[in-house]
Amino acid sequence: MPSAPYQEINPPQRILLGPGPSNVHPRVQQAMMAPVLGHMDPYFYTVMEDTMSLLRYLFRTKNALTFPISATGSAGMEAGLCNFLEPGDVAVIANNGFFADRMINIASRCGAEIIRLDAEWGRIIEPEAIEAALKSQKKVKLLALVHAETSTGVLQPLTEAAQLAKQHEALFLVDAVTSLGGHEVAVDDWSIDICYSCSQKCIGCPPGLSPITVNQKAMETLKKRSHSVSSYYLDLSLLSKYWIRDGSRAYHHTAPASMFYALHEALVLIADEGLEARIQRHAEHGAALQAGLEAMGLVLHAQPGHRLSTLTTVCIPEGIDDARIRQRLLSDYSMEIGGGLGTLKGKVWRIGLMGYSSSEQNVLLVLSALEKLLADEGYKTETGAGIKAAVQSLRK
């Protein structure tokens, strides 16, 4: 047995400007304090119905099966792949970032044959490459792309890819983990068949849930499987019996009530702000941050014209200690930014402006803090240049 006394849980207040989680609104924190109810309670059902309706608004879809999976965003990824891929199926999947690579890993575990769409980390997958891959196979079951690649800061265009998937009768799966609630995601208008996200980024809720939406075309494909879905917990045909009211609901698992309350409140805040206004807020703050970083002489990593506003990747100047800067941001400013993943480890910083964390104040705070710390490391820049450029961008 550990020796008493045990520590009191009293975490420090942080400004979360990494790749996620983002800070949560006080109303979301307050919602988590509501009384826990059973997952088959009549009142809890009303929360579920509201949450599905609000998620349809956010995804811009009429899909009946639109709900939060009781697990983090990686569960949404796994559900989106393991429900629709069987051994021998062919899947065309992006290979231009850490999370694109994770999709390939999961799809391979499903027994699918993977056709990789290769691109340098930091660049989009071009439509010509997608078309060539789809044409190279007699039958492609699924095309999968990451809309907002968290590891690189790239925003992948989707409309042409959706048209190509439709032409080749392939299901179109989209990872919207770092875009939903911060960039435009139009599931029905863009003909996306399967789309998933997470709770802790632009939605502004604690981590622990993975919103997903699946259209009728995909559900019909699910019904025609020749093998059972490899994951019982993530089997959408079973989960749908709990979420879609059809006379009665069937027990599947014990839903995390407090997390559902938090997500519900976060979605209400999005509806109150207005989806278009929220997307514009993220765009303005992302543009201001990027203008400020470039004015400091720093180089942005992601492909110009395809950069996320919700997460910016910036190249670490030569001779600057990656870990020391991030540690000092944490110790001196109680501010978190992210380091690079995979091939970008030690080469870039990832600065997130998502949900409640996407504010003018945070843009100016992180720019001023970086200027001071970089100067301490010997990196020379014009004093206040980043702040000045950001303010000018915001005034536009």
Amino acid at 202: C
**Percent of all residues in the chain with a pLDDT value above 70, rounded to a whole number:** 99
Token pair 């029905």 in the structure block, residue: 188
Segment 53-70, tens digit of pLDDT: 999 999 999 999 999 999
Instruction: Please tell me the predicted confidence (pLDDT) of residue 243.
Output: 94
Q: Two tokens at 340? A: 């690079």
The confidence band for 197, taking pLDDT boundaries of 50, 70 and 90, is very high
Lookup result for tokens 């800070």: 23
Top CATH class of 26-271 equals alpha beta
Residues 322/349, Cβ–Cβ less than 8 Å: yes
3-state class (DSSP) for residue 204: coil
Compute the distance between CA of residue 122 and CA of residue 105 in angstroms, rounded to an integer: 20
Q: What is the pLDDT of residues 141-196, one digit of tens each?
A: 999 999 999 999 999 999 999 999 999 999 999 999 999 999 999 999 999 999 99
* CATH-assigned architecture of domain 275-395: Alpha-Beta Complex (3.90)
The pLDDT confidence band at residue 249, using thresholds 50, 70 and 90, is: confident
Characterize 110-146 residue by residue with b for buried, 16 or more Cβ atoms within 10 angstroms of its Cβ, and e for exposed: bebbbbebebebbbbbeeebbbebbeeeeebbbbbbb
- Of 62, 81, 61, the C-alpha closest to 187 is 61
List residues bridging with 356 in a β-sheet.
Answer: none
Q: Please state the pTM of the whole predicted model.
A: 0.96
Map out the domains of the chain as residue ranges: 26-271, 275-395
Share of the chain above pLDDT 90, in %: 94
Mean pLDDT, rounded, of the chain:
96
Label each residue of 138-198 as H, E or C: CCCCEEEEECEECCCCEECCCHHHHHHHHHCCCEEEEECCCCECCECCCCCCCCCCEEECC
pLDDT category of residue 396 using cuts at 50, 70 and 90: confident
DSSP alpha helices (H): ranges in the chain? 26-31, 42-59, 73-82, 98-109, 127-135, 159-167, 216-223, 236-243, 257-273, 275-295, 322-333, 360-376, 385-395
Among residues 44, 28, 395, the alpha carbon closest in space to that of 242 is found at: 44
The HSE-up count of residue 14 (CA atoms within 13 Å, CB side) is 18
Report which of 308, 29, 278 is spatially closest to residue 178, judged by C-alpha positions.
Answer: 308
Fill in the DSSP letter of residue 11: P
Position 310 pLDDT exceeds 90: yes
For residues 236-262, give the mean pLDDT: 91
Q: Give me the residues paired with residue 254 across strands.
A: none
Residue 23 has pLDDT above 70, yes or no: yes
